[in-house]
């Protein structure tokens, strides 16, 4: 068994759409970033890569590489999964927390879990997404950005 941790934060940007967990959310501000800035998927990608000791998201998908401009983070997740499988691992479970003052995420969480599970080839019951606020504290608490953290468990492929 191998465990990995991931953390990411993106600044809010009024000119962008908000995409979290591969789901476009109706909200007046999105997140700044080179790709679709899906902070939740970025944390999961980093956890996947970390569990397999394969480096980090910036190394595999450099933000200054035009290849990844406006990339769908679901595609980055798929590529990270392929790397992890090539290294001989299967995905176990994923647990993640999004830290966002707004919007309220509870109603969107089932769709995010479904989307992430499908991308990883596991059942939705193996993917947990939780949401919390920053209690008004600091930049996240003022709604200037959204952060996410994730842990992923990998198991060595049998045979």
List residues near Zn ion by CB under 5 A: 8, 42
Cα distance between residue 48 and residue 79, in whole Å: 11
Residue 55 tokens read as 């480096």
How many angstroms separate the CA atoms of 36 and 102, rounded? 18
Given the complex with Zn ion, which of 42 and 113 has the nearer CB atom?
42
42/108 with CB nearer Zn ion: 42
State the minimum distance, in angstroms, from the CB of residue 37 to Zn ion: 6
Least distance (Å) between residue 68 CB and Zn ion:
11
Residue nearest Zn ion, CB atom distance: 42
Instruction: Tell me how far, at minimum, the Cβ of 123 lies from Zn ion, in Å.
Output: 26
CA 30 vs CA 82, 83, 97, 151: distances in Å = 28, 29, 18, 24
What token pair was written down for 76?
Answer: 């980055």
Q: How far is the CB of 47 from Zn ion (least distance, A)?
A: 13
Sort strands 127-132 and 89-99 into parallel, antiparallel or unpaired: parallel
CA 132, chain centre distance (Å): 15
């Amino acid at each position: 068994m191998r465990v990995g941790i991931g953390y990411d934060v993106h600044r809010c940007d009024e000119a962008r759409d908000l995409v979290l967990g591969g789901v476009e959310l109706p909200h007046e501000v999105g997140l700044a970033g080179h790709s679709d800035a899906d902070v939740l998927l970025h944390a999961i990608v980093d956890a996947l890569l970390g569990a397999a000791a394969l480096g980090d998201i910036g190394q595999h998908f450099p933000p200054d590489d035009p290849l990844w401009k406006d990339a769908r983070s679901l595609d980055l997740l798929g590529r990270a999964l392929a790397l992890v499988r090539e290294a001989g691992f299967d995905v176990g479970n994923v647990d993640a927390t999004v830290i966002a003052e707004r919007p309220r995420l509870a109603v969107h969480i089932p769709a995010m879990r479904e989307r992430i599970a499908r991308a990883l080839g596991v059942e939705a019951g193996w993917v947990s997404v939780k949401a919390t606020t920053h209690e008004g504290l600091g930049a996240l608490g003022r709604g200037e950005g959204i952060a996410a953290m994730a842990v992923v468990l990998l198991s060595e492929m049998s045979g």
